[in-house]
Amino acid sequence: MDLRGPTSQIIMRAKRSLGQNFLTSEKIVADIVGAAGLSQDDIILEVGPGRGILTGGLLKNSKKIIAVEKDDGLFDFLREKFAQEIESEKLILIHGDILDPRLNIPRLNKGGYKLVSNIPYNITGKIIRKFLSAKNRPEMMVLLLQKEVAERITAKDGKESLLSISVKAYGKPKYIKKVSRIFFSPKPKVDSAILLIDEISQTFFKNFPEKEFFTLVKSGFAHKRKKLLNNLKEIGLEPSRIFKEMGLSENIRAERLKPKEWLELAKKTKSRYS
């Protein structure tokens, strides 16, 4: 496709409504591919391929790519740019919204895939939650996302958040590297980062329901300035004795608890009040 014409310029223009910031650096593509440890046996899901710079790098280093693009113009552009790869079925290009529950991606039902994407800032949390809690969850995620979000997810003990607990309950997040805003078009107001989420599984919830765990965690983080004890009292719990059993101060805040402590608290709370 000739990118010099007026129609192509319209197609390639980023849409704020879709949170589009196109990656422009082949070096960053190499860093993402390296973080994913790709091989010619890997099946990759890419969300929002955009102009296809990451798609090109993934195609060179994996068995098959399944790319989901919502933007009409970009979908047509990608279909022409990667016509040969689509014909050979090395690339499966799907036109749709990755967050639409009606969207069916048959190949993913078999499992055994990696999610590698430069995801839109405005749906980062939704995408992470969707795939970590999915029945056919990926074995690994490598995401290019907002630097602040990557830092929150990889927070050390004492600075946890609902987001970090939600990720650590399913896998091991690792901050790979900062990516300057200058490597995007249009240039966003903030820097990005490469985040790896490895060893994704449901082992954490082997003996406790996910839904009940997150109901408690969400209640604990409901009012950030309040003590955890008071937040839990608001949902009808009196956990003072449980706190004492666990060696927790009654003044502790939700951000101080590690994922395993949240799980222990959830189990003890359920046992006490069921």
Architecture of domain 6-201 in CATH? 3-Layer(aba) Sandwich (3.40)
Is pLDDT above 90 for 75? yes
Is pLDDT above 60 for 74? yes
Consult the annotation and say whether 220 binds a ligand. Answer: no
The mean pLDDT value for 44-71 works out to 97
Lowest mean pLDDT among 20-24, 30-34, 97-101: 20-24
State the average pLDDT for the chain. 92
The mean pLDDT value for 127-153 works out to 96
Cα 198 from Cα 71, distance rounded (Å): 29
The mean pLDDT value for 77-102 works out to 97
Contact present, 119 and 47 (Cβ < 8 Å)? yes
Is pLDDT above 90 for 108? no
Give residue-wise pLDDT tens across range 170-191.
999 999 999 999 999 999 999 9
Lowest mean pLDDT among 108-112, 201-205, 206-210: 108-112
Q: What's the confidence (pLDDT) of residue 10? A: 43
Consult the annotation and say whether 199 binds a ligand. Answer: no
- Spatial CB neighbours of 125, under 8 Å, sequence gap ≥ 6: 149, 163
Q: What's the confidence (pLDDT) of residue 14? A: 52
* 72: three-class secondary structure by DSSP: helix
| Identical topology for domains 6-201 and 210-273 | no
Consult the annotation and say whether 250 binds a ligand. Answer: no
- Spatial CB neighbours of 38, under 8 Å, sequence gap ≥ 6: 44, 58, 61, 62, 114, 116
Lowest mean pLDDT among 106-110, 233-237, 268-272: 106-110
Percentage of the residues of the chain whose pLDDT score is greater than 90: 83
Contact present, 115 and 121 (Cβ < 8 Å)? no
Task: Please report where in the chains the tokens 């296809």 appear, as a residue.
Answer: 52
Consult the annotation and say whether 48 binds a ligand. Answer: yes
Q: What's the confidence (pLDDT) of residue 19? A: 54
CATH class of 210-273: mainly alpha
pTM of the model: 0.91
Consult the annotation and say whether 97 binds a ligand. Answer: yes
Consult the annotation and say whether 71 binds a ligand. Answer: no
Indicate the domain borders of the chain: 6-201, 210-273
Chain centroid to Cα 171, Å, comes to 11
Q: What's the confidence (pLDDT) of residue 273? A: 65
